[in-house]
């Protein structure tokens, strides 16, 4: 297992829609890749990580939601598609490709997502709250959309100076050089 470097804001791979995964094609390499993705996400305390955030053009992501008095909810989504959404929420969001930056983003409160799991089996996920937020955030990544793209123009403009300042720090940040926790 290894921690991978996480691509930061400004890197083109984050702006490109990812390629649908051919499960049979990736099957052999998948366990090692997913282990790396979970390790990378855990090392920086993230709730989700999309494959293109570590530079791979694959429509898959991992999610890990911490829950009170319960085991964390861990999930692999391959080729996820949004089947249904309802309601609305407006909460703070962050992203491992924008470390230290947070902003309120409008999301659906409930979603139904269809995907394949790590075994290549079809799954249907009904989520709300934090879990729904993470699913929408990661699916956006896989479509080449970051959470900052979801902000109204005025918020984006207000955020610009902070973003430019953080961008300088991100240049020096390489998660693959971190020690596993
Ligand atoms: Co993100």
Read off the pLDDT of each residue in 103-120 and give the average, rounded to a whole number.
Answer: 97
**What confidence score (pLDDT) does residue 67 get?**
86
- The model's pTM: 0.95
> What proportion of the chain, given as a percentage, has pLDDT over 70?
98
How far, in Å, is the centroid of ligand 1 from the Cα of 14?
Answer: 9
Q: What is the pLDDT of residue 28?
A: 97
Q: How far is the CA of 101 from the centre of ligand 1 (A)?
A: 11
CB 76 within 8 A of CB 118: yes
Q: Is-contact 143 135, C-beta < 8 A?
A: no
Provide the percentage of residues in the chain whose pLDDT is more than 90.
93
Cα-to-centroid distance, 110 and ligand 1 (Å):
19
* CATH code linked to domain 12-177: 3.90.45.10
Residues at Cβ < 5 Å from ligand 1 ion: 95
Band of residue 57 on the pLDDT scale cut at 50, 70, 90: very high
- pLDDT confidence of 106, banded at 50, 70, 90? very high
Q: What is the predicted pLDDT for the residue at 76?
A: 98
> Is 62 in contact with 141 (CB distance < 8 Å)?
no
Other C-beta atoms within 10 Å of 121: how many? 10
Residue 181 has pLDDT above 60, yes or no: no
Query: Which residues are catalytic, by number?
Result: 138
The length of the chain, given as a count of residues: 181
> Per residue in 150-170, pLDDT tens?
999 999 999 999 999 999 999
**50: nearest Cα among 111, 89, 87, 7:** 7
Q: Positive or negative CA dihedral for 23, 26, 30, 33?
A: negative
Q: Is the pLDDT of residue 16 over 70?
A: yes
Query: Distance, CA 141 to ligand 1 centroid (Å)?
Result: 7
For residue 47, the CA-to-ligand 1 centroid distance in Å is: 9
Q: Distance, CA 134 to ligand 1 centroid (Å)?
A: 9
Mean pLDDT, to the nearest integer, of 78-86?
98
């Amino acid at each position: 297992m290894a921690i991978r470097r996480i691509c930061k804001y400004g890197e083109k791979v984050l702006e490109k829609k990812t390629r649908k995964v051919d499960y049979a094609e990736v099957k052999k390499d998948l366990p090692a890749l997913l282990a790396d993705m979970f390790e990378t996400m855990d090392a920086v305390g993230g709730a989700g990580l999309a494959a293109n955030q570590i530079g791979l053009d694959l429509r898959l992501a991992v999610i890990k939601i911490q829950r009170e008095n319960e085991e964390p909810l861990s999930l692999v989504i391959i080729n996820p598609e949004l089947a249904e959404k309802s309601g609305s929420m407006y909460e703070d969001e962050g992203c491992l490709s924008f470390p230290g930056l947070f902003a309120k983003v409008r999301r659906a409160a409930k979603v139904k997502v269809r995907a394949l799991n790590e075994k290549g089996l079809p799954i249907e996920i009904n989520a709300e709250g934090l879990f729904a937020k993470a699913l929408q955030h990661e699916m956006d990544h896989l479509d080449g959309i970051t959470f900052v793209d979801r902000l109204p123009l005025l918020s984006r403009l207000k955020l610009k100076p902070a973003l430019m300042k953080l961008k300088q720090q991100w240049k020096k940040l390489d998660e693959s050089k971190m020690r596993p926790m």
